[in-house]
Structure 1
Amino acid sequence: MVDSMIASLPFFKTLPKKGCGERDKLTMEGHHEHSHHGHSHQHDHGHGRGGEHCHEHSHGASHSHHGHSHSDFDIQGLTGKEIAAGAIAGLVEHIGMFPFDTIKTRVQDEGSSVKSVVRNILKNEKWTHLYRGCVPVLCSAVPAHGAYFSIYEASKRYFTKSRGEKEDSVFTIAVSASAATIAHDAVTIPFDVVKQRMQIDAKGVYASSWQCMRSVVRNEGFSKLFVALPTTAAMNIPHMTAQWLVYERLKEALVRRGKEEDEMALPFVFAGFTAGAVAACVSTPVDNIKTRLQLGKDASAAEAVRSILRTRGARGFLTGVIPRICHMAPSAALTLGTYEFAKSSLDTVW
């Protein structure tokens, strides 16, 4: 029932058919074992259902380690297709999920319930305030997500090949996720500071995101834009590592049971949703510390920890966990689903 409902969604049902490309490999129903002919550049641990055709195609220029077409980079390098697909995924995800992030930030700032925050916004503010601070995030999302996904994929290819792995190990996924996360955070953190200041600005003190950024730099110093970078990295590295580990393994397990091509929506959506929920739980305590730093409530992570313990107790570190799950789970499903869809679509024209 769930499979058929998800598979019927037009957005995912229309994934292009590509013979022996990455999407067919995800069916895990091929007739070939991993061999000297080489793996796909995405290493999704399976081959397509194309039989003899797939066997021959493994020697070709597009997906072989022994040769590349004019549109492919070296196996260790970045690909324009992955950069573009990642940028599209970031744009779609941030536009769709931004209101949930605003609610989460308000809950962590005020210590109120989700219901109370939503009711207060609807009663005393405009609904458009749910998107306050969205502009700087969108400006950073495109390059940040493009770099994030391409570095993750390139790192996986590099470590899988250099370590002689037949499938991506926990080490490979963890290191690849960490490298991608650091690159992503270096781009987004200043914009994230502005975003959160705008999100809690219920009275409209700042006329625009640009004014907010200038105010922070003028009154608190340029370094304030990066004050939460170490904490953000400490939160996002385990968060994204957990998300990718769950996603890759769960998607692989689900795909093994897939029977129809249009059921490929299930691994992308369900695996992404579950991975996002697990990762959100893991990273919520550090997210509370990061939020206090970026809102200027505390000068250091240690001070933020003491403040949370003093005012809310140990349970305070889980403040906002529900809205965070409500934000991160569908966000991961949307991001990863869009990325897979965009990459598959680009395969037909790239």
Structure 2
Amino acid sequence: MDTHDDDYEALPDSPVHVNMLAGALAGITEHALMHPMDAIKTRMQVISTNPNLIYSSISNAVQRISTAEGASALWRGVTSVVLGAGPAHALSFAVYEHFKIVLGADQDGNRVLESAIAGACATIAHDGLMTPFDVIKQRMQLVSGSHFSTTLACAQQIARSEGIAAFYVSYPTTLAMNIPFHMIHFSSYEYFKKALNPEGRYDPMSHCVAGGLAGGLAAAVTTPLDVIKTLLQTRAVSDDAGVRRVAGFKEAWDLVLKREGVKGLFRGLQPRVLTNVAATSISWTTYEFLKVILGQSQRKPFPVVA
């Protein structure tokens, strides 16, 4: 094995700040690039009494939103998600790398359970930081969010009209969704990465493919919980009286089943899966690349000035 491979194999023990910086940059890149598709997913998941706000497909949503509101509408809320994604992903990847080592998920063989537990720990840390930013993002992604000039204005309006608790009303549901999502995501990524790259060398293609497969699988399985999360985060601005009266997870679940049946729990499945396939491919490829670059820079001695 050459020097480059030796360096890469040593990276799981790289300093925590290297993992955090790589994770932050990977998270920002992922969310910023995939924001328009995420906006479409949010629109498709929202229950509305207005037929003009019901979208049948991705292409239908893009055409109608662009025509009625302009293409820039698909980018509303991106500032909030970027502000939150940096610190949230930094913490998430640092916690994940730490528990990979503690639990032995970085050892030889397919350590699916250990990777899943490490992913669950990372999720709890990530969502504690990210949920308020996600609430603001989803509010701004809706038609009603167009009157907010800035992320700060949206945050202030939510705090004034609904209280601070509104930023965390979906936190239990978010954890209920993201813990299984990331248990599937992280364990699948480690499994696919080892299957595609058994030598453990730095290989961007295997990271990209493994990330996409893991993200798409996790997204498909947890879509019903994402539908409920979106309903809870946007209920206060819904034009549907029934949605506005929803108080928690069970009521939201029952409402969706009553209105649309099981099919309603899979609103936005296509854009959610496509978003996560692309996002996790971008995130893992960026993260693994930055770990190499930042890890190598940490091991290079500083030049001595005579």
Structure possessing the higher radius of gyration over alpha carbons: 1
Aligned to 1:334: 282
| Correspondence 1:286 to 2:229 | no
2:24 partner letter? A
8 Å contact kept, 1:129–1:202 = no
Q: Aligned ranges for residues 174-189 of structure 1 at < 5 Å?
A: 174-189=116-131
Aligned to 1:193: 135
**Aligned with residue 140 of structure 1, among 84, 87, 90:** 84
TM normalised by structure 2 equals 0.86
The structure with higher relative contact order (CA 8 Å, sep 6+) is 2
Question: Where does the alignment leave 5 or more consecutive residues of structure 1 unmatched?
Answer: 1-15, 26-39, 43-62, 64-71, 74-78
Aligned residues: CA RMSD: 2.2
Q: Aligned ranges for residues 1-350 of structure 1 at < 5 Å?
A: 18-22=4-8, 25=9, 40=10, 42=12, 79-109=16-46, 110-113=53-56, 114-160=58-104, 166-167=108-109, 169-201=111-143, 204-256=146-198, 264-296=203-235, 297=243, 298-350=246-298
Q: In structure 1, the residue corresponding to 2:104 is in which secondary structure?
A: helix
1: CA distance between counterparts of 2:278 and 2:107?
32
* Structure 1 residue runs of 4 or more that deviate by more than 6 Å after TM superposition: none
Change (3 A) 1:248 1:201: same
8 Å contact kept, 1:228–1:293 = yes
Instruction: Choose between structure 1 and 2: higher helix proportion.
Output: 2
Q: For residue 170 of structure 1, report the CA deviation from its aligned partner.
A: 2.5
2:43 partner letter? R
Change (3 A) 1:325 1:167: same
2: CA distance between counterparts of 1:136 and 1:86?
17
8 Å contact kept, 2:95–2:121 = yes
Q: How many residues align?
A: 281
Q: In structure 2, the residue corresponding to 1:204 is in which secondary structure?
A: helix
Residue deviations 1:207-239 (CA, integer Å, cap 9, x gap): 222111111111111101100000000000111
1: CA distance between counterparts of 2:210 and 2:84?
26
Change (3 A) 1:342 1:257: closer
2:55 partner letter? S
Aligned to 1:66: none
Percent of paired sites with the same residue: 35
1:221 partner letter? G
1:101 partner letter? D
Q: For residue 266 of structure 1, report the CA deviation from its aligned partner.
A: 2.0
Change (3 A) 1:155 1:119: same
1:89 partner letter? A
Change (3 A) 1:203 1:159: closer
